[in-house]
Amino acid sequence: MTHPRRNPVGGHIPVAGGLAATGIPYARAIGAEAVQVFTANPRGWATPPGNPAQDAEFRAACADAGIPAYVHAPYLINPGSHDQVTAERSVVSLRHSLRRARAIGALGVVVHTGSATGGRERATALAQVRRLLLPLLDELTHDDDPWLLLEPTAGQGASLCSLMDDLGPYVDALDRHPRLGVCLDTCHAFAAGHDLAAPDGVDTLLRALERAAGPGRLRLVHANDSKDVSGARKDRHVNIGAGHIGDEPFRALLAHPVTEGVPFILETPGGRDGHAADALRLKALRGSAVPA
């Protein structure tokens, strides 16, 4: 389960039954070189304490195999929400994910960038994002603390961040904090209007990301093909090569200098078999990619 330095390929793994007891065998079965997990119910507000023995075993197994691990924060988190209960719960939930990530040795916590609900102005929502998230970032003072990785969405509703240009104001609102990074979801970007399948579409996307967020901020890629056309604003994942993005953009992503050393995590359908097949496909594309 070792990996080349260029781009470790892995997947989001199930952990019901135990981070190590369930997650590690699944990771081995799909040939994962990187993993992502939930440490809480992704569709709830509960903040479970975790199992110290499972945490230690998971952390040790990942370290022994050289597998970088990441945590995906719950989907309900929205620091731009007009509902103050949601906003307050978002802080508690995200702090929990960050602390659990540190406990299991994860390198980053992925969080969706949220939306300006209730008809509020984007500037008002971003001011609230600053007030809520900057203190959490300032708590990341240890060398083994994770990065907070902002994941732009597919552009549904009043999304605060879907196109790469949206990252600029969002990152600025958080003072371009040194522990702040970006997780690029290929399906989200495609759905939001970045046509990765167009000539130079991948280069255009990645250059826009770096202009907006700054160099070195891209820390993770969620590798997902799209069931819908570019600009549809629909977040519907399909297996690699089976959607409107196709194989070639993934080959280009795996060769681009902006993605050097960045892990690719699959969130595609089909369970273990689907993940295993997609991981093999990405590894083959990686093997044939010519660095730009």
Q: What is the pLDDT of residue 238?
A: 97
pTM for the structure as a whole: 0.96
Q: What is the pLDDT of residue 1?
A: 39
Q: What is the pLDDT of residue 290?
A: 77
φ and ψ at 92, to 5 degrees? -60, -45
What is the distance between the alpha carbons of residues 152 and 163, in angstroms, rounded to a whole number? 7
For residue 25, how far is the Cα from the chain centroid?
A: 22
| pLDDT cut 90: percent of the chain above it | 95
Q: Are 67 and 41 in contact (CB under 8 A)?
A: no
For the chain, give every domain's residue range.
9-288
Q: What is the pLDDT of residue 256?
A: 97
Q: Which CATH number fits domain 9-288: 2.170.270.10, 3.90.45.10, 3.10.20.30, 3.20.20.150?
A: 3.20.20.150
The predicted model gives 18-39 an average pLDDT of 97
What is the distance between the alpha carbons of residues 136 and 138, in angstroms, rounded to a whole number? 5
Q: What is the pLDDT of residue 2?
A: 39
Banded pLDDT at 205 (limits 50, 70, 90): very high
Structural tokens at position 42: 């992704």
Q: Is the pLDDT of residue 292 over 90?
A: no
Q: What is the pLDDT of residue 291?
A: 74
What is the distance between the alpha carbons of residues 12 and 235, in angstroms, rounded to a whole number? 17
Q: Are 69 and 115 in contact (CB under 8 A)?
A: no
Q: What is the pLDDT of residue 4?
A: 52
What is the distance between the alpha carbons of residues 6 and 291, in angstroms, rounded to a whole number? 10
Q: What is the pLDDT of residue 5?
A: 64
Tens of pLDDT, residue by residue over 99-119, are: 999 999 999 999 999 999 999
Q: Are 129 and 122 in contact (CB under 8 A)?
A: no
The predicted model gives 53-81 an average pLDDT of 97
Parallel/antiparallel/unpaired status of strands 147-151 and 108-112: parallel
